[in-house]
Structure 1
Amino acid sequence: MAEAHQAVGFQFTVRPDGVDIKLSQEVIKNIYHSGVTAWKKKAIQFKNGVLTGVYPASPSSWLIVVIAMMSSLYIHIDPSLGMIDAIKDNLPHSRDCMSVQTRAVLSSVLFATGLWLFLIYLLRYALKALLSYHGWIFESHGKMSTSTRVWLSLVKMLSGRRPLLYSFQASLPRLPVPSVKDTIHRYLKSVRPLLDNEQYNQMEILAYDFKNSIAAQLQRYLILKSWWATNYVSDWWEEYIYLRGRGPIMVNSNFYVMDLLYITPTHRQAARVGNVVHAMLQYRRKLERGEHAPLRALGTVPMCSTQMERMFNTTRIPGIETDIVQHLTDRKHLVVYHKGRFFQVWLYTGGRHLLPSELETQFQRILNDTSEPQPGELKLAALTAGNRVPWARARVKYFSQGVNKVSLDAIESAALFLTLDDEPQGYDPTKTNSLDTYAKSLLHGKCYDRWFDKSVTLISYTNGKMGINAEHSWADAPIVGHMWEYVLATDCFHLGYTEEGHCKGDVNKGLPQPTRLQWKFPAECQEIIESSYLLAKQIADDVDFHGCLFTEFGKGLIKKCRTSPDAFIQLALQLAQFRDQGVFCLTYESSMTRMFRDGRTETVRSCTAEAVAFVRAMGDAGKTNAQRLGLFWKAADKHQNMYRLAMTGSGIDRHLFCLYIVSKYLGADSPFLKKVLSEPWKLSTSQTPQQQLSLVDINKFPKYVGAGGGFGPVADDGYGVSYIIVGENLITFHISSKFSCPDTDSYRFGQHIQKAMLDIQALFKPENDKIVEHGKHVHLENGKKHI
């Protein structure tokens, strides 16, 4: 075996005249380079840790403060107001230990260091106080007040230069706990358009009974937690919404991200994977060193980066009552699944990443391997797609020792999981359902060819297309999207391919072969695997998916209408939902709370009274377009305000969720909280944001656009809708529902969305003049408003 010979660093033979030692120079060279690389990595991490630890100051600023204090000794000015002398008096007086001059210098250095640290904390708390102000987000787009301009200038001034990924973490404010009164008031307003008078009166009674009974007690515990924990929501959200769920995470929790929509850089499967994996390793290296630039709103206001820490080397481990998220550091291999076999591939050689061409060689070797799966190996990953308790029990019983344990450890400790699929996928304009099958393949595949517990499962198709299936508990979709934007841009514009479609670089045939993972499953374990597969297949077969490309207009035209693109789309979704179902429903839109430390998401309840009034007007023949447009502005303004409230910590649902958790801990029953938490979200929506617009110039390369991603249906009788606004002229919708529900149809809903978008846009056409916008008379010419 070639790999066995490669593993031997030296050989020795005992002879009568001594010991003859033969060293393998290649192996010793690799060992040397590995050691050098490891120490370089530690040095860089230490340096970046220091830079982050003293931010927004810099290590050089310490030297400036020390020199300033030392200079004061010679000009007989004491800026310390006697503190340097006090420090000097408390230092050892013995001449043998320290001279007077030495004590004077040391006391100045100690005072300067203390002053420097004090200034750092002062700057941090000043920056935290500034970042706690959110008035800027409530101002009209394009209209910035003088106070906000001054505030932005102060934030920029205190933010320092060239921040690293985690530089702002200590300066981010904590998520505030809203008052119970405000939350209940906003909740009742959110459900009023969905309930008749009798239902609303009952809900009002429940709400005020809760407010006047145990609410104050629960709120006190929640405030106490907000003082103690960095975020009063996120740990409970991860545990109770994700990790304690005992049902399948495939479809129900995991989400997917698609490849570039129109472009496939190479049709060679192994080559494309080689470039993409290498780009992901580059991203991981920068992530481990904290060298990525932090995401900042308006280019100034920092977002929390905590979720990014567990992107790689992370696995969700099943448990009987609750799962855990296992995150490791510095993993040097990945695991590949191909045609029922599992392979381990090392990602380093000689202390460096494998080059794209070397990775291509390794993946091509797997593609060329014709060995058969071992008994039970083909559908093994179905354990991660089924219910959690059978998987947890099987893991303890059949994977705790022997070859099964070694192989499972290899999977769970891998940097990521890679599936080399044996079929083509991707968007094909000649096929009406190409996006549908592509989405379903990424979301669930064959139910046994993705390791759904891994934080990231990279999926490769025979035609060179790629995609990602991501486990949801460790982070939200924008985190994975940030990495994927970097990878696609690096793949296409930095690494590239040869004319034949191979990775650039020399082919290294001296690499050890990928290692087959070994398994030994008794019949009972194979029965559990098959049972998990059958359950997962039933779930997957029930997913009705439709991918919809809306190309009539995009962000460019919507902005000319002077409204938020997100509000425009959300109102179109409300109009489509009503036309599809004939009733309004509780609507979930995800917003982020990453302006706060450890923030994740909050819910925007998009079905407002204003949205209902607008939708009803669109179907009322007695209403004029001017009246409809006036109602649209009111609904759009309402939606934007609710989105801003959610982003700034004044949402509804996370507060009520945490109050419910506290009530369960205390054993206090609340009919109101129980009712709120049991309400189904029949329309669940989410926008996939574009975060790094500078990576690719869309105007120069209009075909290099991503298709976004999506998720499975949340309610048995509802829709899940994810959308991405790409550039100026494209919006992609990912729509999911269940075939088992006779009232839903994803394709039909997609048609309703397209018509709703066009109908709303038609309200802005030039013939609709003399409309009323916020009480002001507005004239439309060429689609633009002139006041």
Structure 2
Amino acid sequence: MAEAHSAVAFSFSISHEGVHINYDTEVLHVIWHSGIRYWRRGIRRIVNSVRCGIFPATLSSLTLTVGGYNALYLCRDIYGPQYDYAAIGIVDALKKYVKIDEPARGIVCCTISGFAVWFGVFIFMKYTLRVLFMYKGWMYESRGRGRTMSLTSRMWFYAVKFLTGFSRPMLYSYQGSLPRLPLPALKDTMSRYLRSVRPLMDDEAYARMEKLAAEFQNGIGKKLQRYLVLKSWWATNYVTDWWEEFVYLRGRSPLMVNSNFYGTDAILLHPTHLQAARAGNVAHAAFLFRRLIERQQLQPIMVQNSVPLCSYQYERTFNTTRIPGIETDKIVHFGDSTHIAVYHAGRYFKMPCYYKGELLTPRELQLQFERILSDDSLPEKGETYLGALTAERA
């Protein structure tokens, strides 16, 4: 591998002259900024998880509900029974079970009552939104100029907009409201399969396939279908984990052309023909995109500006690697990463992209790419062939 140098942030030695303390200010700065970055990311992640978990409700609505209960309770105590609304009855009933002194008992009971009411409304909104997303009638309606949606689709559209209009959705806001993947009946699955293979077979081969499909449907297919029904009750997607395990991670076809995604800079516009400059811009843009994902500032992909698509895979776009195995590989996701791996002339380089917690500019990244391009060191033993582990068919 490319040569690496280890640095010691703090050390001391004892001699007859006393204790000598040595420390590296630069490394200590790196450790300090790394810790600050870690805690900021952690706090931001907790806040975003709470905001996404309570969508389509908001934290401000919780504050208003609890504050409103306390305000009504205070008004009744000051101005009399004309403020004795039904909502305050919940507080009075709860006060029988809270054995603390006033006014703390009233505040605690109002807070609990307000939270309970808010939570009930939130659950109703969340599952109502999930039921609305199960509607598929809009998919089969005609599109184009002069064509209008049916009354049912219009009512569905307005209901979705009403429930989601209280807060701006984040990247993962809709994850808890997405409906489960519907499980088709075994008969329908076999019918679709036969219809898909019919153009690929002659009459004799298709007749044999029909016979095999009927045997499967009347035999082990019924047992397998029952397993799928049981799994669909507790899994939001009954096929995701099996697809990842048996199709993706156990697949032995080349990753470079079948699985790995890639990105390029502008195809038609070339502001510069310097390889290092273009690589610096691409790397900087990738880190900015990662920041949008981490902070959930990306808007989820919406179909017809109403129905969200699952955003789960965004989490694995960065900081994720696939560890090769003999029979099956393993996906490993890291919480954070401040460097990229650069491959050049048979050598792998670890290139840092942050300094003191700040992302380097495209120009600073370009300088590092230029150093790699000008490096004339030879690859280590076996380093040149590492890519063959994922590029050639096993």
Instruction: Compute the TM-score of the two structures, normalised by the length of structure 2.
Output: 0.87
Structure showing the higher helix proportion among its residues: 2
Instruction: Give the letter aligned to residue 37 of structure 1.
Output: R
Q: Deviations over 1:744-774 (max 9, x none)?
A: xxxxxxxxxxxxxxxxxxxxxxxxxxxxxxx
- Equivalent position of 2:175 in the other structure: 169
Judged with a 3 Å threshold, the aligned counterparts in structure 2 of structure 1 residues 246 and 37 are, in CA distance, closer, same or farther, namely closer
Percent identity of the aligned residues? 47
Judged with a 3 Å threshold, the aligned counterparts in structure 2 of structure 1 residues 188 and 34 are, in CA distance, closer, same or farther, namely closer
Provide the C-alpha distance between the structure 2 equivalents of 1:82 and 1:324, rounded to a whole number of angstroms.
56
Q: Deviations over 1:354-402 (max 9, x none)?
A: 22222111111111111112232222321222356xxxxxxxxxxxxxx
CA contact (8 A) 2:170 2:296 kept: yes
Summarize the alignment of residues 168-567 of structure 1 with structure 2, pairs less than 5 Å apart: 168-254=174-260, 258-386=264-392
Instruction: Give the letter aligned to residue 284 of structure 1.
Output: R
Provide the C-alpha distance between the structure 2 equivalents of 1:199 and 1:51, rounded to a whole number of angstroms.
56
Give the CA deviation at 1:13.
Answer: 7.7
Provide the C-alpha distance between the structure 1 equivalents of 2:177 and 2:13, rounded to a whole number of angstroms.
62
- Equivalent position of 2:51 in the other structure: 51
Provide the C-alpha distance between the structure 2 equivalents of 1:199 and 1:33, rounded to a whole number of angstroms.
67
CA contact (8 A) 2:8 2:23 kept: no
CA contact (8 A) 2:265 2:278 kept: no
- Decide which of 79, 85, 99 is 2:86's aligned counterpart: 79
Judged with a 3 Å threshold, the aligned counterparts in structure 2 of structure 1 residues 208 and 35 are, in CA distance, closer, same or farther, namely closer
Instruction: Give the letter aligned to residue 117 of structure 1.
Output: F
Q: Deviations over 1:221-251 (max 9, x none)?
A: 1111111112011111111112122454344
Provide the C-alpha distance between the structure 2 equivalents of 1:369 and 1:299, rounded to a whole number of angstroms.
50
Give the CA deviation at 1:297.
Answer: 1.1
In structure 1, the gaps of 5 or more residues are 389-787
Provide the C-alpha distance between the structure 2 equivalents of 1:305 and 1:297, rounded to a whole number of angstroms.
13
Provide the C-alpha distance between the structure 1 equivalents of 2:220 and 2:17, rounded to a whole number of angstroms.
88
- Equivalent position of 1:88 in the other structure: 95
CA contact (8 A) 1:34 1:352 kept: no
- Decide which of 104, 107, 122 is 1:105's aligned counterpart: 107
Instruction: Give the letter aligned to residue 123 of structure 1.
Output: M
CA contact (8 A) 1:250 1:386 kept: no
Give the CA deviation at 1:29.
Answer: 4.5
CA contact (8 A) 1:165 1:293 kept: yes
Q: Secondary structure at the match of 2:327?
A: coil
CA contact (8 A) 1:11 1:22 kept: yes
Give the CA deviation at 1:311.
Answer: 0.9
In structure 2, the gaps of 5 or more residues are 77-82
Provide the C-alpha distance between the structure 2 equivalents of 1:10 and 1:324, rounded to a whole number of angstroms.
36
- Equivalent position of 2:131 in the other structure: 129
Judged with a 3 Å threshold, the aligned counterparts in structure 2 of structure 1 residues 222 and 14 are, in CA distance, closer, same or farther, namely closer
Q: Secondary structure at the match of 2:267?
A: coil
If asked which structure has higher relative contact order (CA below 8 Å, sep 6+), I would say 2
Alpha-carbon RMSD across the aligned residues, in angstroms, is 2.7
Provide the C-alpha distance between the structure 2 equivalents of 1:288 and 1:61, rounded to a whole number of angstroms.
25
- Equivalent position of 1:152 in the other structure: 157
Give the CA deviation at 1:14.
Answer: 6.7
- Equivalent position of 2:79 in the other structure: none
Instruction: Give the letter aligned to residue 66 of structure 2.
Output: V
- Equivalent position of 1:417 in the other structure: none
Q: Deviations over 1:690-712 (max 9, x none)?
A: xxxxxxxxxxxxxxxxxxxxxxx
Provide the C-alpha distance between the structure 1 equivalents of 2:200 and 2:380, rounded to a whole number of angstroms.
55
Judged with a 3 Å threshold, the aligned counterparts in structure 2 of structure 1 residues 218 and 377 are, in CA distance, closer, same or farther, namely closer
Q: Deviations over 1:184-224 (max 9, x none)?
A: 23333334444444433333333233333333322111111
Instruction: Give the letter aligned to residue 157 of structure 1.
Output: F
CA contact (8 A) 1:128 1:172 kept: yes
Give the CA deviation at 1:61.
Answer: 0.7
Provide the C-alpha distance between the structure 1 equivalents of 2:202 and 2:294, rounded to a whole number of angstroms.
54
Q: Secondary structure at the match of 1:260?
A: coil
Instruction: Give the letter aligned to residue 67 of structure 1.
Output: G
CA contact (8 A) 1:37 1:352 kept: no
- Equivalent position of 1:60 in the other structure: 60
CA contact (8 A) 2:347 2:383 kept: yes
Provide the C-alpha distance between the structure 2 equivalents of 1:8 and 1:78, rounded to a whole number of angstroms.
68
CA contact (8 A) 1:55 1:167 kept: yes
CA contact (8 A) 2:72 2:88 kept: no
Provide the C-alpha distance between the structure 2 equivalents of 1:136 and 1:236, rounded to a whole number of angstroms.
30
Judged with a 3 Å threshold, the aligned counterparts in structure 2 of structure 1 residues 194 and 387 are, in CA distance, closer, same or farther, namely closer
Provide the C-alpha distance between the structure 2 equivalents of 1:266 and 1:87, rounded to a whole number of angstroms.
71
Q: Deviations over 1:637-685 (max 9, x none)?
A: xxxxxxxxxxxxxxxxxxxxxxxxxxxxxxxxxxxxxxxxxxxxxxxxx
Provide the C-alpha distance between the structure 2 equivalents of 1:382 and 1:286, rounded to a whole number of angstroms.
33
Instruction: Compute the TM-score of the two structures, normalised by the length of structure 1.
Output: 0.45
CA contact (8 A) 1:56 1:123 kept: yes
Provide the C-alpha distance between the structure 2 equivalents of 1:184 and 1:11, rounded to a whole number of angstroms.
70
